[in-house]
Amino acid sequence: MPKHAIGVTTAYTEHYKTQCKCAWYAGGRPDKTSQIVQLIPSDEYGRTPEPNTILTWRDEYLWDAWADEMDAKAEQVVESELVNQRIIMLKKQASLGAEIQLKGLNHLREHSFDTSASAVSAIKLGIDVERTSRGISDRLIKLTKLSDEELTEETQKLLDRALESGEIIDVAEIKNKDDNDVENGEI
């Protein structure tokens, strides 16, 4: 431990303040001062700051805003990982579909059409699984690379297409129709 003159104090370093912020965040971002104090490590001199000092640092150094940013980044990582897992699963399904097709074709080559309707079914099933899985995984990969603006445009196109095909009923249209029916005495 370094020697200090009596009555001389050493300020806490920025590095130590960052350690305190990280300890608070890793501890679940508690609000209660007593919980925060328990999370704070000692500095290189064995000291821990007073609770009011920690609260001051939390305000001055915007710990909550920083923690919100960290949470948002964590959510993005989790969402990205979920999309990647889904892509991997779909690629496996596509591969399995191709394998089913091959087995069905091999069976047909060995035994002919008349002897195995299940071989034909396997080929059809394999084609369907592969086509569906490859299409979805390719689309997911493309979607993960789009910007927010491009995603919004893509969503609007899909919504417009669904509205035109009648797949989506506009609630405002129903409300207006009901209002007109009431006015005309039809209800």
Q: pTM score > 0.75 for this model?
A: no
Contact 130, 94 (CB under 8 A): yes
| 187 residues of the chain, pLDDT tens digit each | 455 545 557 899 999 999 999 999 999 999 898 899 899 999 998 999 999 999 999 999 999 999 999 999 998 888 888 888 888 888 888 788 788 878 877 877 777 655 567 677 777 777 777 777 666 667 777 777 777 777 778 777 776 776 777 665 544 544 455 555 545 555 4
pLDDT confidence of residue 89: 85
pLDDT confidence of residue 62: 95
CA distance 111 to 74: 55
- Indicate the residue type of 127: I
pLDDT confidence of residue 182: 46
What are the boundaries of each domain within the chain? 14-61, 66-147+160-183
Structure tokens at 36: 């925060």
pLDDT confidence of residue 25: 94
Give the DSSP letter string of 20-81. Answer: HHHHHHHTT---SHHHHHHHPPP-TTS----HHHHHHHHHHTTHHHHHHHHHHHHHHHHHHH
pLDDT confidence of residue 88: 87
pLDDT confidence of residue 117: 72
pLDDT confidence of residue 174: 45
DSSP, res 12 = P
CA distance 149 to 155: 10
pLDDT confidence of residue 116: 62
